A and B are shown apart, each in its own frame.
Chain A
């Protein structure tokens, strides 16, 4: 069998649109994941035992669910039970958001735990309000600690966004399936799409490394 990539390459606008869809799902899902994850962290750090239990249960449940199952549950399950029919796009974004929130919640927790309690006490001793302590002392430090692991979660979100093909969103894998069915070129279609995804992933991880190096730059001499 001879390989002919020109058939696949002729479809380049659709392939690029597919990639754009994947990046969009990853970004939107990651944003939602950060918000839910932060709320879940706040619940786990609160003094209320009930809030702690809810946060713990939520993280355990989300960790146990396969991404594919979560997506099907949101897309088909919710629609058939309560009649709230989310579109494929909305479903994948929500699924990525929920899936990544389990990671981000733990990341925020380790970020805040890394900061010495003495700093909060010192802030109180200086007469700062709780809001000011959070805003001017804790947050700037926490954000530095959490950015590198959060970027890794973004990379995971990008990997997960290809699942959108399952709910018929014309992202990259769906385009590959379409080409392989209509042009009978499965190998060329899937290999091209895989190469495109791997290339994007490598660029993303280079970007992550560059940002990490930039963040470490400002730290000055390592503390001992």
Chain B
């Protein structure tokens, strides 16, 4: 039992690391929502070149694990541009690049649920393209997309566990460092695992109830 006490004593430091985990995940989701919007407008554009750029982006960025992107951004991009970024910035950039592709697909499916008639009706009312998008189409699309975006947030939160490999002091990095000193890997990693399982369980319940609450009643 003694070995578990050590983990409990170290818990405040680990929970402090959880702040980085959440910070990185929230920042990445927020940036992905912006970039995802840009990519989905490329995907839905009338210009064939723009569409193929959007398609290529989604294909390329969905096909590698976050581990590869973290290394690519932190070591390769920094090496070739000479930009000395700190690990947290590199983590946010790589998770944003990766998840913008998934968020774009979420937006695309949400926009597909909106009937074409609404475009025509809004255009018939004399609204400009910008007005149609900002007050008619996107509010509805975002409502449909919200539970899916929360699910994506769960994925980002789990993916962000990898940022320890470039030295971000997130919860797993702190636990792992202490575990290597004390040889109590089992206890420390199990504790981190339990914390992740609880967070993911709560968030996914939230996502399910959100989905039910926001469902369109016809």
Contact = CB atoms under 8 A, between A and B. Distances in A.
B158 to A, nearest CB: 4
Contact of B64 (A61, A68, A159, A176): A159
A176 B68 CA distance: 10
A35 interface: no
Contacts of A193: 68
Interface centre among A80, A160, A197 (most CB of B within 10 A): A80
B167 interface: no
Q: A1, A3, A68, A78: which has the most chain B beta carbons within 10 Å?
A: A68
A70 B189 CA distance: 9
Interface stretch (A111-119, A137-145, A183-191, A208-216): A183-191
A60 interface: yes
A177 B80 CA distance: 16
A73 B192 CA distance: 10
A177 B59 CA distance: 25
Contacts of A186: 75-76, 79
Contact of A66 (B75, B82, B159): B159
A104 interface: no
Interface in A59-88: 60-61, 63-70, 72-73, 76-81
B163 to A, nearest CB: 9
A69 B68 contact: no
A51 interface: no
B204 interface: yes
Interface stretch (B83-91, B115-123, B178-186): B178-186
Given A80-B183, A162-B67, A61 B197 contact: yes
B72 A69 contact: no
Given A187-B76, A187-B79, A191-B76, A162 B65 contact: yes
Interface string B199-211: 1110010000000
B172 A159 contact: no
Contact of B200 (A64, A70, A189): A64
Given A73-B190, A166-B165, A191-B76, A63 B63 contact: no
A68 B161 contact: yes
Contacts of A180: 75-76
A198 B64 CA distance: 7
A171 to B, nearest CB: 11
Contacts of A197: 63-64, 68
Contacts of A194: 64, 68, 72
B20 to A, nearest CB: 14
Secondary structure class of chain A's binding surface, majority of residues: helix
Given A1-B80, A64-B201, A202-B63, A72 B75 contact: no
B193 A65 contact: yes
A190 B72 CA distance: 6
Interface in A169-224: 173, 176-177, 180, 186-187, 189-191, 193-194, 197-198, 201-202, 205
A163 B69 CA distance: 12
Contacts of B77: 187
23 contacts: A60-B197, A66-B162, A67-B161, A68-B161, A68-B164, A68-B172, A73-B193, A76-B186, A81-B185, A81-B186, A160-B65, A163-B65, A163-B67, A165-B67, A166-B165, A190-B68, A190-B72, A190-B75, A191-B72, A197-B68, A201-B63, A201-B64, A205-B63
Give the 6 A-B CB pairs with smallest separation, nearest first. A64-B197, A81-B186, A66-B161, A201-B63, A64-B200, A76-B185
Interface of B: 59-60, 63-65, 67-68, 71-72, 75-77, 79-80, 82, 158-162, 164-165, 172, 176, 179, 183-187, 189-190, 192-193, 196-201, 204
